[in-house]
């Protein structure tokens, strides 16, 4: 009964432009910027098309040819729509989706943040690792993201470079 009522209330709140009940309760004041990864999906689509072109003579012999090419294209669609890169700026930490999973770095582990016109580089103290977010490869909203990163750097006295 509670789920049904929550669903009804959430649809009403969505119509009025208010945050959902679960979103409002779980909100910790963090801001999430989502991008779109297009390079790997494009590479997978090219591989699928390559499979279709290369093995087209074998198509009459085996149907697995179609499955292989279609699987590459299906995987590209899944990666493009479901596995979006993001940067979550919390009160004390930054979280981002990396290839191996979501990574969280505390403010004390951040060495400096470099802001340029089309990219953001977050440099870390341990091992000199860095996260790079670009407008071209990741399609992030850079202006809003840079403003929030400036606030984050000022709040935690992190070195900030503008290029």
What is the average pLDDT across 142-157? 91
Q: pLDDT above 90 covers what percent of the chain?
A: 42
- Mean pLDDT throughout 59-65? 73
Q: Per-residue pLDDT averaged across 61-83, rounded?
A: 89
Residue 3 reports pLDDT greater than 90:
no
pLDDT at 156 over 50: yes
Q: Are 82 and 99 in contact (CB under 8 A)?
A: no
In Å, how far are 11, 68, 127 from 24, measured between CA atoms? 14, 44, 37
Res 2: pLDDT? 66
Q: What is the pTM of this model?
A: 0.72
Nearest CA to 152 out of 26, 33, 37 is that of 33
Q: What is the pLDDT of residue 25?
A: 46
How far from the centroid of its chain's Cα atoms is residue 90's Cα?
15
Is residue 27 predicted with pLDDT exceeding 70?
A: no
The SS3 assignment for 99 reads coil
Lowest mean pLDDT among 55-59, 101-105, 106-110, 153-157: 55-59
Sheet holding 93-98, edge to edge: 31-34, 86-89, 93-98, 101-106
pLDDT (0 to 100) of residue 9: 83
What pLDDT shows up at residue 100? 80
């Amino acid at each position: 009964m509670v789920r049904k009522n929550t669903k009804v209330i959430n649809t009403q709140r969505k119509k009025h432009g208010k945050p959902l009940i679960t979103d409002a309760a779980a909100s910790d004041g963090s801001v999430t910027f989502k991008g779109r990864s297009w390079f790997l999906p494009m590479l997978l689509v090219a591989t699928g098309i390559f499979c279709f072109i290369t093995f087209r003579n074998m198509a009459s012999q085996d149907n697995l040819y179609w499955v292989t090419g279609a699987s590459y294209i299906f995987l590209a669609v899944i990666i493009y729509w479901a596995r979006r890169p993001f940067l979550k700026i919390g009160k004390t930490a930054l979280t981002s989706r990396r290839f191996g999973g979501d990574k969280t770095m505390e403010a004390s582990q951040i060495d400096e943040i470099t802001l340029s016109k089309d990219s953001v580089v977050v440099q870390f103290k341990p091992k000199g690792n860095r996260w790079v977010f670009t407008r071209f490869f990741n399609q992030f909203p850079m202006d809003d993201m840079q403003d929030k990163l400036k606030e984050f750097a000022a709040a935690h006295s992190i070195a900030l470079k503008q290029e």
